[in-house]
Structure 1
Amino acid sequence: MALRKIELTVGGTEVGRAKTWSYPSDDGKHYSIPTYNLEVRGTDARRATVTKTFEVIRFGVHRKTPAESTRVVGLADHQRYVIRGWLPDYSVHSAASPEMGAWHVFDNYLIHDGPDDPHNEAYATAGCIEICGGPAGFDRFNDLLITLSGSMKTTRGEKLHELGRAGTMSITYLRAGRPPLVEWRG
C-alpha cells in the first residue's frame, strides 16, 4: 500500500522569538531570531484532512571559526523539496536532547528537535528547521507524520524509515526576509 502524501509548509511571517548563539563557533553572545509556523497537512485513515501547526526556528546565527564574522543563515527564498531520508542516529549538536533523528531536506538542511521553550532555552542552528515546544515536541511531530502517512510497518523506526524514503512528504519554504543580526535583550 502506498503511503499518503504529507505537505509541510514553513511560513514566512514571524510568530515569536528564540534565543540562540553563534554556531558552531560561539562568540560569547546570545542573539534573538524569529520563529515561524510550520504547517503539517495530510489525511488520516478515514480520509479526513488534518492540519496541525508547530512553532519552528528557521534561521540561525552562524560563525564557522573564531576568525570569521557572525551572520544570519538559513533558507529565505520560496522553495520546495521532497524529503528523501530519515536519519535515525542524528543528535542535536548545540544542546542536550533526548529526541533523536532528523529528516533530510537537502545538503546540510535538516528538520530536527529544537528547544522546548525557544524564548528561554538557547539552541543554535545553521539554518535547519528546529521543531519547538515540549517536552517531546519533535516526537509529537513525528508521531503525527506516522499517523498521516498510513504506514503499516511494525515499529516506529521502520515507519519513519519508510516515510523518509517513500518520496511522499514534501516541504515548502514560503519566502521570508532574512532577519537582521540582533543581540538578545531577554
Structure 2
Amino acid sequence: MSVEVLLLLKEQLRLQHYHDMAEFAERQTEWIKHARALANWSNNPVEELACLGMVAFLSWGTAQLKFFPEASLLNRVKSLGRQTQSFDIAGLFICCRKLRAWVVLATAENAITGGATLKRHAYELMMEFLYGEPLIDNDWDTVEALVKRFLWNQKTLAAWKRYWMSCCENAREG
C-alpha cells in the first residue's frame, strides 16, 4: 500500500481519541474526502478496496452519509472484491480476503440505511460474498475474527453482526 493510505489509516486511529465532537466531525469529513480521493487515484485494487472500506466505516454512525452509500460504490466494491480473489501472491491472498470481508460488511451494512435500490445492491453484495468466499462458512465467529483486524468499534460490530445474521438466514431460506 502507498504511504498515503498508511498515513490515512494512522490518522483514523488518532481520530478515535478526539474529545471535541465538533473537531472530530470536521476531521472525519476531511479524512472521508481524502480516502475517497485516494480510492479514485489508486491503480491498485487492494488499496482502492481499503480506501472504500474506510469511506464506509468513517461514514457509518455519523452525519456523513452524503459520502456513502451509492450504488456505484457498492458495485465498485463488488468488482474490486472479485479482482482481489484472483491474487495468488504468497501471503497477500489471505490478507486480501480478510480485507474484503471487512469492506463488504462495512459497505453493505451502511447501505441498508438507503433506499430500496441501495438495499438491493447491498444484499447482492452480501450474497455474492456469502456464496463465493471459501474462508467463510456462514460462521459469525470467523467473520468477527477477520473484521477485528481492521477498523471497527462495538457499535459497528453489533450492527454488522445483525446484518450478517439476517443475510445468512435469507440465504438458508432462499
Instruction: State the TM-score, normalized to the length of structure 1.
Output: 0.23
Structure having the larger proportion of residues in strand: 1
Bigger relative contact order, structure 1 or 2, given CA contacts below 8 A and separation 6+?
1
Structure having the larger proportion of residues in helix: 2
When Rg is computed on C-alpha atoms for both structures, the one with the higher figure is 1
